[in-house]
Amino acid sequence: MSLIFASAFYMVGFGYYVADLLPIPHVALALTMTGLLTGLNYIGAKETGGTQNVIVAALLIILTVFFLRAVFSVDIDNLRPLIPPEIGISGFFVVTPVLFVTFMGFAEIAAVSEEIKNPDRNLPLAVVGSVVVVTVVYCAVEICVVGLRRYNDPTMLSETVLMELAYMLMGRTGYSLILLGGIFATVSSANASIMAASRISFAMGRDGLMPDWFNQIHHRFRTPYRSILVTGGLTMILLVILGSHLELIAEVGAFLSLLLYAFISLACMVMRHAEQSWYKPSFKTPAYPLVPILGLLGCLFVMGITSRPTIVDFRNKLTIKF
Distance CA 246, CA 308 (A): 18
Would you say residue 308 has pLDDT above 70? Answer: no
Look at the chain and count its residues. 322
Residue 294 CB contacts under 8 Å (≥ 6 apart), including other chains: none
Q: Is the model's pLDDT at 322 over the cut of 50?
A: no
Fold that domain 2-242 belongs to in CATH: Amino acid/polyamine transporter I (1.20.1740)
**pLDDT (average), residues 15-30:** 91
Check: CB of residue 103 under 8 Å from CB of residue 131: yes
Tens digit of each residue's pLDDT (9 = 90 or more) over 151-208: 888 888 777 788 889 999 999 999 999 889 888 889 888 988 898 888 888 888 888 8
Four-residue CA torsion sign, 194, 196, 202, 205: negative
